[in-house]
Structure 1
């Protein structure tokens, strides 16, 4: 039991953020998602978007037809502006992948910039509280060891859950990005009409939110690492102290940071939405 208690003490710090580097770099399945999105885009969505553009141009001409009667000059201007808007819409639809790739590149640049800030992290310290207090844990006896196990199990579960949530959110982020990218030409066709333009802008805002959510996840993990590093350097570890009293005294220190991390990870999408004005 003493080994388990020491392991729990060691694991509470760093478990949620041990794989931050692998989360920062695009996983191998991202290329598969990108290729699938491009295939769906070219085969199914672009032909449908072309039909939608044609319908919208026809409706615009019909709507403006009443304004052309009796004024040929105005009619020519209206037709010219309508066809110019249609041409711009076609260009936007054709280059939808490039537009979204640009947004993704901005997000990746922000992630690399945040990752390179050199914030203090818990991974930079070799202090392992469980190993340092193993002798005191062993001397505590089985009854107190069992009590310590019960006390430490809850913060360990929270930290582990936070780590799993971070990984799941990263995977969901990539799927969300490329599912939206697969259908990009369709909502972007609405740029050519003043009445439907807010729909296209809303789509781009939603896509930017998905991209920026990855940045907010990384910021949350890096800030949590900084807090862990600070706690590890300031936590009063006394190798001669009673292990049971030490764990009971610092229970809040073990419990609060992972709870905060869970809440922040849960709020990353709303935080990203607030950044893009959603």
Structure 2
């Protein structure tokens, strides 16, 4: 029973398992090579021809637009059209190799994530002991008559914590699915950049992609902050030899339950923070 109670307290204190945190450290290609390969295949075979057609239309519209600005000045007209053609060539090249730009964003996100993980690890001695591990000696000394009421009191916070863990798992999965969907359509937004009226569409695409990538970093930080929050709320150092274990749990019951509920709010806050990093709402 001691190990069971320790496991419950560790689960409440950690919020999510280290296996889920390990997924946050992966790039889209590492998370699921099959889905990532499928996204790139769709982009190359289905979306890229459409993007080329759209870009051709944009080229005609752009040349027609700049030609009207020459106003009978042949030399100015040649310069404007030459500049427009050069810009369109750059856009066409970017559209043909857009996946390299997305991979560059992935690598930047991975580099930032590695730095954050080094500064604030969630495993090893630097991460500290779990809530249950720090209370093991108190649980062992309580005996069966002290452990049973403690176990009963911890059931509700534990179940809420498991529900919050499911929410985090779904958020991580949806985050990668969003990246794969954006990757599948990667050549198309570049084509819209060629035209002044549709340029913001392409810019917003890259902002959305970067936001999805950096959501891993904000979610990781949110989990680290959650664990620090639980440590301060539960306060295992407040238990002293001779104290009642069930009494300690009862006095910290509200904090433990609140921490589990807070995990869901922290996940939502991390998503909002990732969007705001790139000018989103």
Asked if 1:200 corresponds to 2:202, the answer is yes
For structure 1, which runs of at least 5 residues remain unmatched after alignment? none
Asked if 1:256 corresponds to 2:258, the answer is yes
Query: Paired residue for 1:212?
Result: 214
Query: Paired residue for 2:77?
Result: 75
How far off its partner does 1:206 sit?
A: 0.7
Are the aligned partners of 1:41 and 1:184 in contact in 2 as well (CA < 8 Å)? yes
Describe the SS at the equivalent of 1:16. Answer: coil
The 5 Å alignment of 1:176-191 reads 176-191=178-193
Moved more, 27-36 or 116-125: 116-125
TM-score by length of 1: 0.85
Distance change (3 Å), C-alpha of 1:18 and 1:68: closer
Describe the SS at the equivalent of 1:35. Answer: helix
**CA–CA separation in structure 2 for the residues paired with 1:183 and 1:195:** 20
Distance change (3 Å), C-alpha of 1:41 and 1:57: same
1:121 to 122, 127, 138: 127
**CA–CA separation in structure 2 for the residues paired with 1:6 and 1:89:** 58
1:50 to 41, 49, 52: 52
Query: Paired residue for 1:158?
Result: 160
How far off its partner does 1:253 sit?
A: 3.2
How far off its partner does 1:57 sit?
A: 1.0
The 5 Å alignment of 1:24-103 reads 24-26=24-26, 29-68=31-70, 70-103=72-105
Moved more, 3-12 or 253-262: 3-12
Query: Paired residue for 1:14?
Result: 14
Are the aligned partners of 1:213 and 1:269 in contact in 2 as well (CA < 8 Å)? yes
Describe the SS at the equivalent of 2:32. Answer: helix
Moved more, 46-55 or 192-201: 192-201
Moved more, 171-180 or 148-157: 148-157
Query: Paired residue for 2:145?
Result: 139
How far off its partner does 1:50 sit?
A: 0.3
For structure 2, which runs of at least 5 residues remain unmatched after alignment? none
Once the two structures are superposed, residues 151-180 of structure 1 have per-residue CA deviations (whole angstroms, 9 ceiling, x without a partner) of 322211232223332222222222111210
Asked if 1:171 corresponds to 2:173, the answer is yes
Query: Paired residue for 2:223?
Result: 221
Name the Cα RMSD after superposition: 2.9
How far off its partner does 1:42 sit?
A: 0.7
